[in-house]
Structure 1
Amino acid sequence: MPVDLRHHGDSEIGPGLVDLAVNVRQGMPPTWLRELLATSLSDISAYPNADRATRIVAGHHGRDPEEVLLTVGAAEAFTLLARVLATPGRAWSEPAGYEPGGSGSALAAPSPAGLPVSRPVVVHPQFTEPEAALRAVGFVPDRVLLPDPFVLDASLVPDDADLVMIGNPTNPTSVLHPAATIASLAREGRYLVVDEAFADCVPGEPESLASVRLPGLVVIRSLTKTWGLAGLRIGYVIGPPELVAAMREAQPLWAVSTPALAAAEACVSPRAQAEAFRWAGEMADRRRVLVDGLTALGAYVVPEAQGSFVCVRLPHALQLRTLLRERGFAVRRADTFPGLGPEWLRVAVRDDETTAAFLAALKEARDDLPA
């Protein structure tokens, strides 16, 4: 059954609604980051230069600047990657001197063979923009649909897949896959693309592959979620230098604005990383309150949620979504994610007071359902 791959949480919100549909941290950006962004406007008359921010982001992950490309949010990264991989003759291999087992590598492996993409695979349920970007340039990717509880089984990925895309933690299921399981999918002649937009929701990011070099591994990160910068648009790609260079060539000149570059530097600073670590721990406590409340109301929540959202199965979920809107709460329908159906919703983690009000509204909505 066709699904709307371009449906996202922002289309659910509206005036007067409490936003539980968008996975962006509320109350952000913090004052210190707002002030830094305001200061960056003093340089707004000059064309943006991404060199320094690229070096800082690369250094944060123990990578070389040639392995990093700053992008207009993670969404642009998927678009650029799709365009590069769809370009005839765009096969690539790493240049002489590139060492897969070099600094920052926890899992050493040889270089990719640089074969053209012919069988892309997207592991679902996951963020739909990667597949939408592939389809926009003519690819028709196969879908690997993980069964509930949506934990990655590497054996489900076809051996001949030469492009594999997966999220970690995965949107919308909030499942965190072991890094070793994802890494086992890397091999010669294959691009392995990992969407780590919510990696900083997990204290210490234990399953991140951003500092690991593997054949064909591409990690895509976002700074818009934790730091409330969805309107600023800033993210980045980490991958083999030749592939990153091809994406840089495909990117419009001066794509990332001066304030966004300033944000990129600030959000990987020690101060920001310490704050993100504390927030991730606090958010985990709030997520537990939400999960316990939903479970008490008879909802099924995908186990071991690790993101800033939970994936919930409820009878009559779409009707409940409408009744919740009437009570002032917006939640994200999840039937637009391949592999999920109309009984699924995604709910963002908020403060305990908001969660209590939402759970009360959900109970009322459930009780008001027609028999």
Structure 2
Amino acid sequence: MRAQPIAGRPGPPIIPSAPEPDLGHHGDAEATPGLVDLAVNVRRAPMPEWLADPITAALGDLAGYPDPAPARAAVAARHRRPPAEVLLTAGAAEGFVLVAQALRGIHRPVVVHPQFTEPEAALRASGHQVERVLLDPDDGFRLDPARIPVDADLVMIGNPTNPTSVLHPAADVAALARPGRVLVVDEAFADTTIAPGGAGEPESLAGRGDLPGLLVIRSLTKTWGLAGLRVGYLLGAADLLDRLAAVQPLWAVSTPALAAATACAAPAAVRAERLIAARLAADRDHLVARLAALPGVRVVGQPASAFVLVHWPGADAVRRALRERGWAVRRGDTFPGLGPDWLRIAVRDRATTDAFIPVLAQILEA
């Protein structure tokens, strides 16, 4: 089933004979053992005691079935929403599957690309005919709400977007909401964003209960290094979440994952996120400056998350050369709207960046 491009403001050309991107390819496939991992966007740091202790304690309760109520209440309190507007999931990726399965009656689903490929993959696996809006790299992959078809009854977009690291203004994303449409906003990396004044998640819609059909999908696996635990949640109107819950497997979120969700929703955890996001911003600025100094390398737009997207001719050959020298970065050709001349690079600490850039420079010179 081939996704169809949507006419609109000119963007990157779509070549009909080009092979479909591999939507099932993810960064973990690049980060094989022995390589320095700049391909996966999960923060790697020692787990704080306030998070490790409740997860460890939960292992003593595995004989009982998981009770999501405390975690649901904690997440609801964090976002100032009633518990009925929270649905806990086994990672953000499960949320895309629930949307695809529960909303089989939609007629025109649209996915805004480039973005994380699982939303489209889930839709296609459930039999939906997906249409794509491809954002323009020459415009910094910025969202133009006017490009979304008026009759689209499902729209999926990331904010900040993986892999572009673009943070769309909340007003532009909110402009996509309307009666008769479900608007799914993937905010898996929202907790990595910070405003210049220090405010966290400056463009998040997680607290908006006034927008019709809005579903916000969140992840706890990125900042807190919990990819192996699988924990995330959806925020939206109670009746819409009820439709998704009806197709969710029973006890989908494990007891340790629920303990993690409760801990990460606490005010102290949210404050810690802000500090981490501020350090991340400084490390990202350092990476961007070092990359921009390399001849022929273009960093796209103003990166706002835990990764940057770069472009130069022959980038995929450089990626392979980096692997030979012990470094893993994320290929770009598996994202609709990109191609082999794009790479995504995860933000790491300055020491890692300063070790990486000379290797990259040597390859480019060769």
Q: Same fold (TM over 0.5)?
A: yes
1:296 to 293, 298, 302: 293
User: Which residue of structure 2 lines up, in the alignment, with residue 189 of structure 1?
Assistant: 180
Contact 2:108/2:152 (CA < 8 Å) preserved in 1? yes
State the Cα distance separating 1:30 from its structure 2 match.
Answer: 2.6
Look up the SS of the partner of 1:250 in the other structure.
Answer: coil
Q: 2:328 maps to which residue?
A: 330
Structure 1, residues 150-202: CA drift from partner, whole Å, max 9, x if none? 01000111111110000000000000000111111111100000000000011
Q: Is the 8 A contact 2:50 2:263 kept in 1?
A: no
Match of 1:145 in 2: 134
Distance 1:63 1:121 in 2: 28
Contact 1:25–1:225 under 8 Å retained in 2: yes
Structure 1 residues 242-281: aligned runs within 5 Å: 242-281=239-278
Name the counterpart of 2:201: 205
Q: Give structure 1 stretches of 5+ with no counterpart.
A: 87-115
1:8 to 26, 41, 45: 26
Displacement of 1:31 in angstroms is 3.6
Match of residue 110, structure 2, among 103, 121, 143: 121
Task: Give the conservation status (yes or no) of the 8 Å contact 1:318–1:342.
Answer: yes
* Counterpart-to-counterpart distance in 2, 1:198 and 1:28: 19
Whether the 8 Å CA contact 2:78–2:267 is kept in 1: the answer is no
Q: CA separation in 2, counterparts of 1:42 and 1:363?
A: 51
Comparing 348-357 and 244-253, the one that deviates more: 244-253
Aligned with 1:134 (options 123, 146, 150): 123
Question: Which of 239, 260, 270 is the matching residue for 2:236?
Answer: 239
- In the alignment, the residues of structure 2 paired with residue 267 and residue 364 of structure 1 have an alpha-carbon distance, to the nearest angstrom, of 42
Give 1:26 shift: 1.3
User: Distance in 2 between the 1:261 and 1:331 partners?
Assistant: 32
How do 1:1-371 residues align onto structure 2 when only pairs under 5 Å count? 1=18, 2-86=20-104, 116-148=105-137, 149-203=140-194, 204-213=200-209, 214-298=211-295, 299-368=297-366
Spell out, residue by residue over 1:4-63, the C-alpha distance to the aligned partner (whole angstroms, 9 max, x if none). 001000000112100000000011433432222111111111110101110110111111
| TM-score calculated relative to the size of structure 1 | 0.90
Structure 2: distance between partners of 1:144 and 1:119: 12
TM-score by length of 2: 0.91
Q: Report how many aligned residue pairs link the two structures.
A: 339
Residue identity opposite 2:261 in structure 1: A
| Local SS of the residue matching 2:321 | helix
Structure 1 residue ranges, 4+ long, deviating more than 6 angstroms after superposition: none
**Does the CA-based 8 Å contact 1:29-1:229 persist in structure 2?**
no
Deviation at 1:364, TM superposition (A): 1.3
Larger mean Cα displacement after TM superposition, 210-219 or 21-30? 21-30
Alpha-carbon contact 1:28-1:227 (below 8 Å) kept:
no
1: CA distance, partners of 2:311 / 2:133:
21
Question: Aligned-residue CA RMSD in angstroms?
Answer: 0.9
In 1, Cα distance between equivalents of 2:46 and 2:306: 14
Secondary structure of the equivalent of 2:110?
Answer: strand
Taking the aligned partners of 1:52 and 1:134, their CA distance within structure 2 comes to 31
- Tell me if structure 1 keeps the 8 A contact 2:299–2:311: yes
Counterpart residue type for residue 120 of structure 1: P
Structure 2 residue runs of 5 or longer lacking an equivalent are 1-17, 195-199
**CA distance in structure 2 between the aligned counterparts of 1:296 and 1:28, rounded to whole angstroms:** 32
The 8 Å contact of residues 182 and 214 in structure 2, kept in 1 or not, is answered as yes
